[in-house]
Amino acid sequence: MYLWHFILMTFMLTLVRANEGNNPTVELGQDCIVNANCCTNNAKCIQGKCQCENSYVERRGNKFCQDIFSTVELGQECNEDANCRANNTICIEGKCQCEHFYDEREIGGKKFCEGVRLLITRENGIYLWTPPKNSKKLVFLRERLTNGFRMVSLAISRPNANINNIYYNTWNDQKYKDEIKYFTLHGTTVGSIGRPIKVADKAGPNATTYIRSLAFHEDTKTLYWTNMKTRNIWKCVINKANCEPILFKQFNNEHPAEIEVHNRFVLWTNDHLYSPSVTAEPINGAGGFDFRNDTEIPIGISVDDKTGRVYWASKLNGAAFTVNSALLTDEKTTSWSREFMDYNYRRPIALAFSPPNTLYWTDWNRHTIWSLRLGGKYPKAVQVPNTDFPDWPMDIAVLPSAA
């Protein structure tokens, strides 16, 4: 009797297993009996669970099995660099992303990686940096400065997709005199060279003495700057190569340092030791607001023109620095985050944001340039190649993409 019962149970179990084999509904990672149970392509029943077979890896939260030797597009999941099909892409945290010093762009729905182009002012002139694959050294653009003159700040105007007007200022330590000039770039070729901007002196000579930072507002063709001597912010509408400075913001105790513009706002950092702040004020001067006002001393500032997110560097007590951000709205700050830098990447002076998610800054401590790709699990600063300078890098800007 027991023998017939055992034979019957074995026969029924065999039928159940055969039926299960014809009904593949088991997902990756779930229990299985035979290979046919697994409903995912290129998966087998291995040690009682559906798993990807050899030469395949699990992707998208165990949704499918990917050939480790296949190639995928930018933004898709990958296992190693060789999986990434697009030029200048590597596998970062399981996705094909642009490698360092290349940024994601899109034209006609097609994504690609474009090499960043950095403008850097040093004490003796303006230089253009492109990724090492394109150029093995800095390209000198403008102004071999001598006789006490030093390059300080720059701002970019883009009248069309192929031309950039570069505004910059120099100062002379002995004469206490600044000059504002500009030149044009056709792609990476210098066009008109070093034309001075004739600044009217109706506002007095102090308006253009000790300019700390420049910013250009494209819609109104207005150049803004912070003045270290008067501790004010000035603006000047560019009419060909002429402008008349107008006082935009008068301060009593603040020290306006770096300045930026975004749509209808002028933004600046105030590095006063006892009342530091990061401020945004409408172009029309009708009421501003502070992002932060605490014990951190803000330094460089930059903005993502697409999203309105503002980034700035701050100095903490001691030698540490942070990179901070806030989302700019018409009312107030809506979010706040912080990326701590390693102590080695100290003393950032100027910031430049390159979309979609990379920051560059000049480092006065190590006389070099750093980049930080924001987001991801492990953001880490990377030194920009060929930027070990014998002098101080002053300002930095990202040339707009043609995309």
Cis peptide before 298 (omega within 30 of 0): no
pLDDT, tens digit, for every residue of 159-188?
776 788 888 888 766 555 677 888 888 776
* Nearest Cα to Cα of residue 232 among 201, 203, 261: 203
* Nearest Cα to Cα of residue 232 among 263, 199, 209, 262: 209
Which residue shows structure tokens 């944001």? 353
Cis peptide before 393 (omega within 30 of 0): no
Question: Consecutive sets of 10 residues in the chain, 403 residues long: mean pLDDT of each?
Answer: 52 47 74 87 89 78 70 83 83 87 85 89 85 70 64 81 82 67 78 64 66 90 88 85 81 86 89 84 79 74 90 75 77 59 68 90 88 75 85 88 65
User: What distance separates the 2 farthest-apart alpha carbons in the chain?
Assistant: 116
The residues spanned by each domain of the chain are: 26-63, 116-398
Q: What is the pLDDT of residue 173?
A: 62
Residue 137 backbone dihedrals phi, psi, to 5 degrees: -155, 165
d(CA 29, CA 36): 14
Q: What is the pLDDT of residue 10?
A: 52
Residues found in the chain = 403
Q: What is the pLDDT of residue 287?
A: 74
d(CA 231, CA 259): 13
Q: Is 286 exposed, middle or buried (0-12, 13-18, 19+ CB in 10 A)?
A: exposed
Helix (H, G, I), strand (E, B) or coil at 248: strand
Class level of CATH domain 116-398:
mainly beta
d(CA 242, CA 43): 71
Which residue shows structure tokens 């088991």? 26
Close Cβ partners of 204 (under 8 Å, ≥ 6 residues apart): none
CB 136 within 8 A of CB 145: no
pLDDT > 90: what percent of the chain? 8
CB 403 within 8 A of CB 98: no
* DSSP H/E element including 180: strand 177-186
Q: What is the pLDDT of residue 19?
A: 47
Which residue shows structure tokens 């593949």? 24
* Nearest Cα to Cα of residue 167 among 222, 219, 233: 222
Residue 132 in tokens: 């090492």
* DSSP H/E element including 21: helix 2-21
CB 167 within 8 A of CB 197: yes
Q: What is the pLDDT of residue 12?
A: 46
pLDDT, tens digit, for every residue of 60-92?
666 778 776 677 888 888 887 878 888 888 888
How far separated are the first and last CA of the chain, in Å rounded? 82
